[in-house]
A and B are shown apart, each in its own frame.
Chain A
Amino acid sequence: MNRRLGWFLGAGLLVAVVLAGVVSNFASSDPDGLESVIHQGCELNEDGEIVGGECVARQAQDHELGDSPFADYGFAGVDNDVLGTAVSGVLGVLVTFAVGAGLFWLVRRRGGNGATAKAPEQGGAAGGR
């Protein structure tokens, strides 16, 4: 990876961090397209909980990891929605980049021109996760 690509990746990550950490707090909190369709027929209270009627979402079950500290893009340690979303958003961007780039780095095609199958000096990078 050369220096120019490094700058591009850094700038791209910075944009993603700002979007997920800051701009996300200005996002609409209305149910999305799928959520609104599966709630059709049900009456909801102000918190979006079903209080009457019949709809697809009545069958929905709790998430297996609903008690995880970052569940629903919050942060259990912080009693502040804005900060919680910011922590979750920034963490999510960094984890997604680390996992994605790590995974793709591991399975990438080795060798500059395809002919040389394995380059020994690249083997060390494979452990980085």
Chain B
Amino acid sequence: MSEFALHISNGIINGPVSAAFGAVAIVGLAIALARGRADLDDRLAPMAGLVAAFIFAAQMLNFAVLPGVSGHLLGGALAAILVGPWIGAACVATVLVIQALLFADGGITALGLNVTNMALLGTAAGYLLVAALLRVLPKTSTGLGITAFVASVVSVSVAAQGFVLQYLLGGTTDFAGGIGALAVAMAGPHALIGIGEGIIAAATVVTVAKVRPDLVYALRRFHSAPARAEAAVPAGGAA
């Protein structure tokens, strides 16, 4: 096993575009931390640390999606459900920074590209789906599991197309067949990766919801919907 790179390496996207996405990442994370601070209490802060650590661990677990092709969880949708979109984005970014600095995974000049795709785009897309689905689905284990699954599939697909956009803007060589072919080539395996991630994310959030429903951000945030008023009780009291 000569290489175990999981993220965009140096040199794939040119310097100016990498730097521009570095700026996007910094501004995006600053906004996320500023907005997320309202959610961050004494309970959510250590929980967010755990979510980051869990995503780090899950990203090491590559599963086969096609012959000769694997994939791993990205974590944006999972983080958004457990700790909310703002802190969730910061959790995924924390993982990516540690991977780049400590494990030489994902180039340092490519860090802004990776953070934009997986932490910002992936979490935002995942949360939009969560917000929409939890308004219509019941707040049961099944409803939450379906939400996590669908949000993960969409989140991974959007993050993958983020790379296509970056390649369109600053790819250092031509992809055979052009940018449309790159979009298609990225979409296929990442739809399958999203399905794998969806299963892991659904199992994780359903488990947490059974043990400590008050620690699931999405259940607290959307508890005002019609069904299951009792879901609101532990959220307020059990801290």
Contact = CB atoms under 8 A, between A and B. Distances in A.
B173 to A, nearest CB: 5
Closest 8 CB pairs of A and B: A101-B49, A100-B52, A61-B11, A33-B189, A28-B70, A20-B57, A100-B49, A71-B104
A107 B33 CA distance: 8
A121 interface: no
Contact residues of A: prevailing secondary structure = helix
B48 A66 contact: no
Interface in B139-168: 160, 163, 167
A12 B45 CA distance: 14
A64 B108 contact: yes
Contact of A104 (B45, B65, B192): B45
Contact of A28 (B51, B64, B107, B215): B64
Interface of A: 1-2, 4-5, 8-9, 12-13, 15-17, 19-20, 23-24, 27-38, 40-41, 47-49, 54-66, 68, 70-73, 81, 85, 88-89, 91-105, 107-109
A25 to B, nearest CB: 9
B84 to A, nearest CB: 12
Bin chain B's interface residue count: 35 or more
B101 to A, nearest CB: 7
Interface in B40-63: 40-58, 60-63
B69 A34 contact: no
B93 to A, nearest CB: 10
B104 A72 contact: yes
B199 to A, nearest CB: 15
Contacts of A13: 50, 53
Given A36-B68, A102-B49, A88 B103 contact: yes
A32 B69 CA distance: 6
B136 interface: no
Interface string B3-28: 11111111110000000000000000
Contact of A27 (B8, B60, B90, B190): B60
Given A37-B186, A60-B10, A89-B57, 9 more contacts: A4-B238, A13-B53, A19-B58, A34-B6, A34-B163, A71-B104, A72-B104, A93-B57, A100-B94
A63 B87 contact: no
5 contacts: A36-B189, A38-B12, A63-B10, A96-B98, A104-B40
B17 to A, nearest CB: 13
B91 interface: yes
A40 B167 CA distance: 15
Query: Most chain-A Cβ atoms within 10 A of its Cβ — which of B42, B186, B239?
Result: B42
B221 interface: no
Given A27-B61, A30-B70, A93-B57, A64 B41 contact: no
A59 B58 CA distance: 29
A104 B200 CA distance: 25
Contacts of A94: 53
B137 to A, nearest CB: 25
